[in-house]
Each structure stands twice: as structure tokens, then as C-alpha cells.
Amino acid sequence: MTRVWLPDAPDKFGALPPGIEADVWAGGEDLPASADQVEYVVLPFGVKPEIIRKIGTLPSLKTIQILSAGADHILPHIPSHITLCNARGAHTASTAEWTAGVIIASVRNFPRFAVAQRDGRWDYAQSEPVGGKHVLIVGYGDIGAAVERRLAGWDVTIERVARHARDGVRAIGELPELLGSADVVVILVPLTDETRQLVSKDFLRAMKDGALLVNAARGVIVDTDALLEALSSGRIRAALDVTDPEPLPVGHPLWQAPGLLLTPHVGGAIYEGRERAYQVVSQQLARLAAGEPLRNVIGDRGY
């Protein structure tokens, strides 16, 4: 029998496959009595770093499964002998919906009209069309492909960028020559040493005047001071679901930055989000019971 820890009642993950025994662990300091036997742990949302490090010392533990796609907040606390798996796919649709939504809202001036509605003003204004825009997706993985599918009917041109070039996808090293032609730049890269502050002052300067920056990845991928300077000049616009720092403190200048549509890290925050992540876990448990390789394994580079 393989002992696993789940963050919720086992029936929330469907029928457990033969050979799997589960305990419920909600992420607290008090661990189940099976701490010496557990081989596969699903980390609940919001587990403190010191608890993650404690889990990493369990003698039989082989795999830690997270319920999010991003693993940057977990990786520093996981010993190298433990496999880390993410919930790739669980939040793809919702994050892609957010991305497509803020592109359309920003280009068509919806934030301006929402403010006017709040103030009771009839603020007629024209806007640019979405159709005809050149969209550069930086980080073309599962979510990037889903964004492209959702924009397919809007008559936009899509350019794709990933860490390595492949058919139809440019290498990230080509960004300097691609940014100047993009009307919309979507950031979907994972956080690694290479992508931290990828969106620097030079990156922003290379963007064309009037372009829209969309960040649905991690806040620290963008240099906040450089972005504030670019927004304050009116040269570009931005839509952010993530910020640095996060949560954004009261009085931070980003709250008042012109041309910015800001949401509080809600790209994956849909009512069905937890259930979709649990479906990924259920599939992993079936593979574990069958002795098959687990999916969504995170390497030491984070992707």
C-alpha cells in the first residue's frame, strides 16, 4: 500500500485507486500519525515555508504535489531527492480567460467607462479596435496556447516566444527585435533566475508607443519602478494580475498609475478552481497506483 496525504476528504478526489491509503492533512504543524510512511503529499494552499521544510525531512516521502501551476514559492524549500509536481492544466482556462479579458477591456477603454459609471458621468470616447492587433505571447506553454485559442476570433496576429525556439515559436533571446512591432505583450513565463525582472527598463523601452503590457505570471518578472516610469510617461499601458510587492500595500504608486488595469491575483480564482486542481491530483493518484510515471514534474529550473 502507498500512503498519501490529501488536503481534503478523500472522496473529494473521487474513488481512491486500489493500493492507495490516504490521510487528511490540512497544512498545520501537527502531522498525521503516518508521517514515517507517507510517500506522496499534496500541499494545501497557503502552507508556511517552515512547514514545507519540515515535510521535506519525512523519511519515506518521494513526491510533493502542489495545487497551483507556479512552483517558485515551493522550490527553495524542497530537497533535491524529492520530486515536485504542479497542477499544470488546472488553472489554464481561467488564466487564459483573464488574459483575453483584460486585453479586450484595456484596448476598448472599459476601465475608463467603469470609473465614469461610478461617478455618474456620460463619458463618451472612441477607442482602438482589438482586431488587427499584433499580440506577442512571451512564455508559450499550456496557458499561452489557451490564450491564442481565445483570441482566435478577434482577427489578431499572434507571435509566440518560449525559452527555446521550435516550430512556430521564437526563442526568448529574440525578444529585443520582436517587442517593437507588438501592440500587446503578454507575460506568461515561469519565475526563474533568468526571468526575474525580465521586463526591465530596456524591455519596456523596446516596446512600441501605445503598446499594452499584460502580466499574468509573477509580479517580480516586471521591474516595478521601470514600469511606473513608463506608465507615468503615458507611453505604454498595462494590465496586471500580479505585482511586486504583492499584495500591493496601501498607498503604493501603482494604485494611481495612469493607463493601468489592476486585479488582485485572480486569474485562477474561479469557483471551480479547487475542483479542477483536485482532478489533477486524482489523475496522479491513478498513475501512482499503476506504477506509471507522474506528470507535471518540475525540474530544478522551474519548468
Residues labelled as active-site residues: 218, 246, 265
CA atoms within 13 A on the CB side of 2: 21
Distance CA(258)–CA(233), nearest Å, equals: 9
The burial of 226, by beta-carbon neighbours within 10 Å (0-12 exposed, 13-18 middle, 19 or more buried), is given as: middle
The residue written with cell numbers 521601470 in the block is: 226
Neighbouring CB atoms inside 10 A of 15's CB total 11
Contact 197, 224 (CB under 8 A): no
Helix and strand numbers, DSSP H then E, in the chain: 8, 13
Residue 56: CB atoms within 10 A of its CB come to: 16
Instruction: State the Cα–Cα distance between residues 10 and 8, nearest whole angstrom.
Output: 6
Contacts for 172-179: CB closer than 8 Å, 24+ residues apart: 172/138, 175/138, 175/203, 175/206, 176/202, 176/206, 178/136, 179/136, 179/203, 179/206, 179/207, 179/208
- Each residue of 91-117: b (16+ CB within 10 Å) or e? bbbbbbbbbbbbbeebbeeebebeeee
**Cα 255 to Cα 242: distance, rounded to the nearest angstrom:** 13
The grid cell for 103 is 486585453
CA 282/CA 226 separation, integer angstroms? 43
